Amino acid sequence: MRPRDLLRPRPEGLYCPPGDFFIDPVRPVERALITHGHSDHARAGHTKVLATQQTLDIMGLRYGEGFARQTQAIGPGETVDVNGVRVSFHNAGHVLGSAQILVEHGGMRIVASGDYKRQPDPTCAPFEVVACDVFITEATFGLPVFRHPPASEEIARLLRSATQFPERAHLVGAYALGKAQRVIKLIREGGYEAPIYLHGALQRLCEYYASQGIDLGDLQPATVENSRKGEFAGAIVIGTPSAFADRWARRFPDPVSAFASGWMRIRQRAKQRGVELPLIISDHSDWDELTATIIETGASEVWVTHGREEALVRWCELNGIAARPLHLVGYEDEGD
Ligand SMILES: [Zn+2]
């Protein structure tokens, strides 16, 4: 069996012909296997969805309970048979509930890793290395320039700034699923115990994380209308990146604008967004994590998708690993 007989790109997404299923399809299909809850991977409208319980819960929160006609939960390390193809899910370390999907058939093992990272994250289970013949990797930060510092050091800079400017509100932009909760948890691990204020769009997912045993401390709504002027002086406020574009962000006293993203490595990006305090915190692998992971899987072939495919393909070739870009469309990193 050749790898492309087991998985191949189709307009709907990555397709398994013998199993008749798609992985993270971008259009509604009969049977979808979903790696994690980010909206570019987990879409509503499939007939049958197989995913971890946490990913199913997150899809239910975001799309409503009728997001698929039929759902099936699979635990990490558990194997199911889909039309004669062995399928198992393994932790990806990306966000709560995120999984890589191992597809096995006719002696061939392919891992579709979805999005993943190797840095420690107190809000989700760590990445598990799964030996395989073909490893399908993301390449969101697939250039050697991308090297993410330890996230705890970035949070320490935020906390120093909050101490240094007690009259200013610190507004931190963070994606709603995964990044916001990780930033909050890291702030708590940095010793900050005061209430943290949330934009309304973050509330339900933060409550869900707390219900899964991830203690985020005292969270309060960041409603400016009903509050006295100056109440948010010295406070830390977390909002979605899109919240920063609207009037909501302009109501806080002399805010320090911070943004938690792997893109903050690029000074120009921070400047363009008007970010005063860029925090390089990513839920995706950086260059070193990508290349180390490829080697650890022992894969003899690598398929590279969504991101900077060419550099990583070239790196694989230089290291004697067959590689090719998988031009899948429709993935635009909700959680970078
Ligand atoms: Zn993602």
Burial (0-12, 13-18, 19+ Cβ within 10 Å), 62? middle
Alpha carbon of 334 to ligand 1 centroid (Å): 6
pLDDT digit string, tens, across residues 138-170: 999 999 999 999 999 999 999 999 999 999 999
Alpha carbon of 214 to ligand 1 centroid (Å): 19
List all residues 6 or more positions away from 285 whose beta carbon is below 8 Å from its beta carbon.
Answer: 116, 117, 118, 138, 140, 141, 293
Alpha carbon of 294 to ligand 1 centroid (Å): 19
Alpha carbon of 331 to ligand 1 centroid (Å): 9
pLDDT digit string, tens, across residues 259-286: 999 999 999 999 998 899 999 999 999 9
Alpha carbon of 320 to ligand 1 centroid (Å): 29
Alpha carbon of 90 to ligand 1 centroid (Å): 15
- What is the torsional sign of CA 192, 58, 114, 294? positive
Domain range 151-279, CATH architecture = 3-Layer(aba) Sandwich (3.40)
Instruction: Find out whether 91 and 99 touch, Cβ atoms under 8 Å.
Output: yes
Say yes or no: do domains 3-145+284-325 and 151-279 share a fold. no
Alpha carbon of 39 to ligand 1 centroid (Å): 8
**What residue segments make up the domains of the chain, in order of their start?**
3-145+284-325, 151-279
pLDDT digit string, tens, across residues 99-128: 999 999 999 999 999 999 999 999 999 999
Q: How far is CA 333 from the centre of its chain?
A: 8
**CATH class name, domain 3-145+284-325:** alpha beta
